[in-house]
Amino acid sequence: MTFTVRARADAIATFRFISVSLMETLARWVPTTPELEVKVLFGRHLWELAQHADAFGRRTAELRLGPQVSRDPAPGFLAFLTTLRATTETAGRIAKFYDGALSRLESLYRDYLTRTDGLLDEPSVRILERALSDLTRLRHEAAEVRRERPEIGTVERSPDGTEPSPSLDAVVQFRSEQVGAESSPA
């Protein structure tokens, strides 16, 4: 059993929503973060999130949902994104974004990859694999800035980052049956 086309579309459109939201969060933080190296980091990385959102948006069209369609995540994850956005201290922003939000995103993408059909949904798989590679690089680059500015990097790890990541079912609001009769080829 595998995801239906509609369920794939729901998930990819939710990933798009989250990517746009994270892009906007970094954009919001750029003028209000004093440290130049961190400002630059956020500025470079918001473009990465924008590219992910764009790729997901192209895929939503292929999945018959329309181009660049976003779907709200479940209320709990929406609240997490809202709280993240309201963070004001630089150390907290870095910790919550790179340790908290991006690790959750990686977990969601991996969850999707284990559950979708790798052949029938190969375009989504490729997008997510590239996104995962990007997210790893983003976290490494954030770590480099923490090393360069140790007074920022010494902040305690965000509590959000130590909580278990939510499952795909807890984040995506599926609007139809998640699984259909399609099955992986033998």
Give the Cβ contact number of residue 4 at 10 Å: 17
Give the Cβ contact number of residue 185 at 10 Å: 7
C-beta of 7 vs 91, nearer to other proteins: 91
For the bound state, the minimum distance from the C-beta of residue 86 to other proteins, rounded and expressed in Å, comes to 13
For the bound state, the minimum distance from the C-beta of residue 13 to other proteins, rounded and expressed in Å, comes to 13
Structure tokens at 92: 């907290």
Query: What is the amino acid identity at position 117?
Result: D
C-beta of 57 vs 73, nearer to other proteins: 57
Query: What is the amino acid identity at position 73?
Result: P
Give the Cβ contact number of residue 166 at 10 Å: 18
For the bound state, the minimum distance from the C-beta of residue 182 to other proteins, rounded and expressed in Å, comes to 30
What is the distance between the terminal CA atoms of the chain, rounded to a whole angstrom?
Answer: 12
C-beta of 26 vs 108, nearer to other proteins: 26
Footprint of other proteins (CB under 8 A) = 23-24, 26-28, 30-37, 39-44, 46-51, 54, 57, 68
C-beta of 144 vs 163, nearer to other proteins: 144
